[in-house]
Structure 1
Amino acid sequence: MNADANPDDRVTPDSRLHTGSEGEVTAEDVVLASGREITPKSLEWAERRLAEKGRAALDELLP
């Protein structure tokens, strides 16, 4: 990385986030979309949110 590059300018690789109508939404997807770190507690939160809202749990977090 260039010494002058801002670490906030890095892009999350596609393999880490899954968007679009196809494919299953995972708790990890919801945690990453929320900007949280992946921890057991955040995964539990995301699993509850997915159980309650389904795919909308992710859709609500994305711009």
Structure 2
Amino acid sequence: MSTSQPETSRSTGRDEDQFTPDALLHTAPGKDVTPEDLVMATGRDITPANLEWARRKLESEGPSAVERLLP
């Protein structure tokens, strides 16, 4: 005999069918962008070579470098 509760069906109302507003999907990098942040934004593994690439990119472009990678 099962003691589990039946699953409650979810409402499929209009509110759940709407998309996330575009403004909420954009990044807002501050001054605290780290090389690790930049590497992860590219989808690469955090390796010494990738961290060095990210350090150089942050030095030349500043924190806005991550904005070029993310929407």
Scaled by the length of structure 1, what TM-score is found? 0.64
Q: Across the two proteins, how many residue pairs are aligned to each other?
A: 45
Which residue is equivalent to 1:27? 35
Deviation, structure 1 residue 56: 1.6
- In 2: Cα distance, 1:53 partner to 1:22 partner: 13
- The 5 Å alignment of 1:1-63 reads 19-22=27-30, 24-63=32-71
Equivalent position SS for 2:70: coil
Unaligned runs of 5+ in 1: 1-18
Identity within the alignment, %? 51
Q: Which has the higher contact order (CA 8 A, sep 6+)?
A: 2
Report runs of 4+ in structure 1 exceeding 2 Å deviation: 19-23
Deviation at 1:55, TM superposition (A): 1.1
RMSD: 1.4
